Chains A and B, each alone.
Chain A
Amino acid sequence: MRAIDAGLTSCHLCHQIIKLPEGRKGGVLHCPRCGEAVHVRKPFSIQYTWALVIASIIFYIPANLLPMMEVHTFAGTQADTILSGVLYFLETGSYLIASVIFIASIVVPITKLIILIYLLLSVQKHSHKNPIQRKKLYVLTEIIGKWSMVDVYVVAIMIALVHFGGLTQIEAGAGATYFLLVVIVTMIAAMQFDPKLIWDAAETTPKKETTYARNA
């Protein structure tokens, strides 16, 4: 049985089960144990997630076009975007590093955005297909979210390590800033999405009264 059907909800922070007051209008319900504001569903979840997804798509364009890192040497300045960095490593034969950067900076953000858009569309269409698979996709976006920070950290470490009295200097390009924003905004977008919405549409037939936890 679902909590919402039983007139209950749970605190998203401390998991306390809370009885919803009947006929309540307005006002914010607070968890009696931890004091956090309790919402049956995250408020304006779909709107916020859409807004953040669109924002991160917009940020992702300059993140890819502008250079991540500018290397100033006595021979001149070399600017690398994400993709040209990956190609450089492919050419020099560092396939492992090339694949790490490719996965972290290109595959992960795009996968995250595609999954979030798919989840939003399916929830808005009240789809009741494959709720378990869609929940798994949502958990995946939460897990892979922070791994795109790798490239930002690489830029930061390179700047901090390579400075030899003006001979060789590394500077962060504008692309790094936009890419950082992409990572942060997509992480917040994934947090704003409420996975319970998937089940609201999926659960149309009432099921047996109580279900028991599987213990592995």
Chain B
Amino acid sequence: MGYNIFHNLYFQKEDSNVAEAMIVCCHECDELVKVSNPHREGRFKCPNCGSLLFRHRKGMVEKMFALSLAAAILFMLTNYFPFLSFQVAGSTAEANFVTSIVYLFQKHEWLLGVAVLMTTVVIPFIRIVLMLGLFGPLYFGYLPHYATVALKVLTHSLPWAMLDVFLVGVFVSMVKLVKMGTIIPGTSLWAFMVMVFVMAYMQVTFNAHAVWDMVDTKRKQRGLV
């Protein structure tokens, strides 16, 4: 906590109760909203339409760094260990996360394979790497030069990461398959379930406004604005 200069820059205001007002434009209704105390914890809502402007929580950088590390480890576990084993009359089929998607390609289910690969492996992987690449350096006190690109990709890729939907799909197909044979959940499934919750918590904690503020601060320091 001590190393982080941006943390101090961003959070000292709160500690010394110096409220610095800022103006936010509501994304849903175009209302200009004055936020007189943006460093207070909690959710800020548009007074006109009631949609969420942003959410501010203490220690966002630390939490995000910890969560993205956890997500990266869980991602590796998910893709290394077998996901589900399925037994019917003595013969066993074991499915790994990535090998089962490769199997889809082998069966020429191209569109299905690409959709599953992108939404459950590639995009979550990119998001985890970018979160780690963004909040790792921030935790140790400097803003990486690729922060703008990282934030852009993170914003654009958000709707296409569908790990939570995939988890529901796994449960549904497990109930379907239980009638045909025995299902043995692998280590990977447990790691995957935890990863879904870690990613959801990350999404709630992530405050892009705060990181954009840090980008602004850096630009001002370098005399670009």
Contacts and interface: CB of A to CB of B under 8 A. Distances in A.
A154 B172 contact: yes
14 contacts: A2-B29, A10-B24, A13-B156, A15-B24, A15-B212, A135-B51, A149-B162, A153-B170, A154-B173, A180-B115, A195-B29, A198-B29, A213-B35, A213-B47
A147 B209 CA distance: 27
Interface stretch (A21-29, A50-58, A93-101, A115-123): A93-101
A33 B33 CA distance: 20
Contacts of B42: 215-216
A46 B187 CA distance: 47
Contacts, number: 216
A152 interface: yes
B13 to A, nearest CB: 15
Nearest to B36: A212
Interface string B146-158: 0010011001100
Interface stretch (B58-66, B85-93, B190-198): B85-93
Given A3-B30, A6-B32, A213-B35, A157 B169 contact: yes
B32 A97 contact: no
Interface residues of A, number: 73
B74 to A, nearest CB: 19
A41 to B, nearest CB: 9
B145 interface: no
A159 B112 CA distance: 11
Size category of the binding interface on chain B: 35 or more
B144 interface: no
B152 A13 contact: yes
Contact of B93 (A163, A195, A216): A163
B15 interface: no
Q: Which of B28, B148, B179 is most buried by chain A, counting CB atoms within 10 A of its CB?
A: B28
Contacts of B155: 13-14
Nearest to A143: B159
Nearest to A132: B49
B109 A172 contact: yes
Interface stretch (B99-107, B124-132, B133-141): B99-107
Given A153-B169, A154-B172, A155-B112, A8 B34 contact: no
Given A14-B208, A135-B51, 9 more contacts: A10-B30, A135-B50, A160-B103, A165-B91, A172-B109, A176-B112, A187-B159, A196-B30, A212-B47
